[in-house]
């Protein structure tokens, strides 16, 4: 049987019920993920996109293997789907780690009152982003907190200057 017709894959994302488990040659949906084999816009081949439930953009888009006829894509299967879910989940996890690292920074500074941990937490508000600069002692007790510009650069020098100014808001 030649299975070259895959009508479900041609439906727009919003027309597919995310709660229905689907296992078709070019469309798999399960465990909160959708794998869709699509035409590769860059060449004559095929690609697969992985979209997490509730998201509009794919977490992963990658090349997909041609089938035996060298014209149509290889059908999705259980092993391929699980591998794609694992890979896409890892991509999202790395993205979240990178975003966390961009929004939350800290340095340890030795001062006359002992070891202090200075933290900068950026709040990426669309209208007016800002950051919170805070100081903690060795026991984790907060000593000071001020609101600063979202582009405040936290480093050893800026942290030391803030401590030496008795935690006054940096200019």
Tens digit of each residue's pLDDT, the chain (171 residues): 333 333 334 444 445 565 678 999 999 999 999 999 999 877 778 999 999 999 999 999 999 999 888 889 999 999 999 999 999 999 999 999 999 999 999 999 999 889 999 999 999 988 999 999 999 999 999 999 999 999 999 999 999 999 999 999 998
Whole-number pLDDT of residue 71:
87
Phi-psi region at 52: left, alpha or beta (left = phi > 0; alpha = psi -120 to 50): beta
Measured in whole angstroms, the distance separating CA 7 from the mean position of its chain's CA atoms is 31
Whole-number pLDDT of residue 43:
78
Whole-number pLDDT of residue 137:
96
Report which of 84, 101, 69 is spatially closest to residue 27, judged by C-alpha positions.
84
Torsion of CA 142, 147, 152, 155, to 10 degrees: -10
How far is 134 from 171, CA to CA, in rounded Å? Answer: 15
Whole-number pLDDT of residue 41:
77
User: How is residue 75 written in tokens?
Assistant: 């059908």
Whole-number pLDDT of residue 9:
41
Q: How many CB atoms lie within 10 A of CB 18?
A: 14
Whole-number pLDDT of residue 4:
35
Whole-number pLDDT of residue 19:
66
């Amino acid at each position: 049987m030649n299975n070259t017709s895959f009508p479900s894959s041609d439906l727009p994302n919003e027309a597919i019920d995310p709660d229905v488990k689907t296992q078709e040659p070019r469309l798999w949906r399960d465990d909160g993920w959708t794998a869709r084999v699509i035409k590769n816009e860059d060449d004559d081949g095929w690609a697969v996109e992985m979209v997490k439930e509730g998201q509009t953009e794919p977490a992963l888009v990658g090349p997909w293997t041609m089938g035996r006829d060298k014209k149509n894509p290889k059908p999705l299967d259980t092993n391929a789907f699980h591998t794609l879910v694992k890979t896409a989940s890892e991509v999202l996890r790395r993205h979240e780690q990178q975003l966390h690292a961009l929004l939350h920074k800290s340095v340890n500074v030795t001062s006359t009152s002992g070891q202090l941990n200075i933290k900068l937490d950026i709040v990426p508000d669309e209208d007016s982003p800002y950051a919170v600069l805070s100081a903690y002692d060795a026991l984790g007790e907060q000593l000071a907190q001020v609101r600063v510009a979202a582009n405040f650069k936290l480093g050893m020098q800026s942290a030391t200057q803030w401590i030496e100014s008795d935690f006054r808001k940096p200019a």
